[in-house]
């Protein structure tokens, strides 16, 4: 599963043996909106591994985690940034990270039972209940504010080049010319970093936003422009439309 996730983005932070956070902000230009990326991940996991995958999509790690939990056992839930507070509001205070049984009991004793109560809390009242620092943290989470970033310890595993054209390419010669241009750039960057590629992947997005991806694993790793371009062109020639 993690190998599949890392094909979509190198920014993968494992949370447990079967759960992870992904930052897909850098993949949107090539792979589409976060919803589309999540759909592709679920399809890959199901098709290749026969497993169900539940995914939460949100603008922060905390909200994505909550959305993912609500999407189980086999679903996808997207929470737009503008709807974050509304989504969190009816949930119990235990849904907030850092609110365990003891803290939850203390909060309930002071009249806080839902995340909405924390969202609307006066810090002059909430602060003495939890301490100023924890109270500020809890209220930020209740409002969907989570400044943490994905902490990935995985090295970059791919080098890519994408291009959006002002006019659709319809001539085969033009397509192959662009493939050669992008392959030249990718191979040069690979040689600069002394990287060798095992797989060449080509993704095409049509004017109606339909997206098709083809990959080929090489018999021997390479960073030669000629081989990368040849494999990419061969993949393009096998396109279904």
* CA distances from residue 132 to 6, 62, 100, 104, 143 in whole angstroms, order as listed: 39, 21, 18, 16, 17
Token output for 90: 């009816």
Tell me: cis bond preceding 73? Omega within 30 of 0 counts.
yes
Specify the DSSP class assigned to residue 81: G
Q: CB within 8 A of 227, min separation 6: which ones?
A: 218
Question: Could you tell me if residue 204 is left (phi over 0), alpha (psi between -120 and 50 degrees) or otherwise beta?
Answer: beta
How many Cα atoms occupy the beta-carbon half-sphere of 228 within 13 Å? Answer: 27
Exactly one of 6, 19, 86, 151 is catalytic; name it.
19
- Helix and strand totals (H; E) in the chain: 11, 6
Q: Provide the CA 22 distance to its chain's centre, in angstroms.
A: 4
**Of 134, 21, 133, 141, which is closest to residue 88 (Cα–Cα)?**
141
Active site residue 231: no
Catalytic residues: 19
């Amino acid at each position: 599963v993690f190998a599949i996730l890392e094909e979509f983005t190198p920014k993968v932070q494992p949370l447990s043996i079967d759960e992870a956070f992904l930052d897909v902000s850098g993949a949107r230009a090539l792979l589409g909106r976060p919803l589309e990326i999540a759909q592709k991940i679920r399809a890959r996991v199901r098709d290749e591994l026969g497993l169900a995958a539940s995914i939460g999509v949100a603008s922060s790690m905390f909200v994505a985690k909550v959305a993912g939990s609500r999407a189980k056992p086999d679903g996808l839930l997207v929470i737009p940034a503008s709807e974050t507070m509304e989504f969190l509001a009816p949930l119990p205070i235990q849904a907030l990270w850092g609110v365990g049984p003891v803290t939850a009991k203390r909060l309930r004793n002071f009249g806080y039972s839902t995340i909405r109560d924390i969202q609307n809390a006066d810090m002059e009242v909430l602060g003495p209940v939890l301490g100023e620092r924890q109270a500020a943290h809890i209220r930020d989470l209740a409002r969907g504010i989570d400044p943490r970033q994905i902490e990935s310890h995985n090295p970059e595993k791919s080098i890519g080049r994408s291009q959006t054209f002002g006019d659709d390419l319809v001539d085969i010669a033009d397509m192959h010319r662009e493939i050669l241009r992008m392959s030249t750039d990718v191979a040069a960057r690979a040689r600069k970093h002394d990287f060798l590629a095992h797989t060449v992947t080509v993704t095409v997005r049509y004017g109606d936003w339909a997206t098709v991806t083809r990959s080929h694993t090489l018999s021997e790793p390479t960073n030669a422009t000629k081989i990368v371009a040849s494999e990419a062109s061969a993949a393009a020639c096998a396109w279904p439309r």
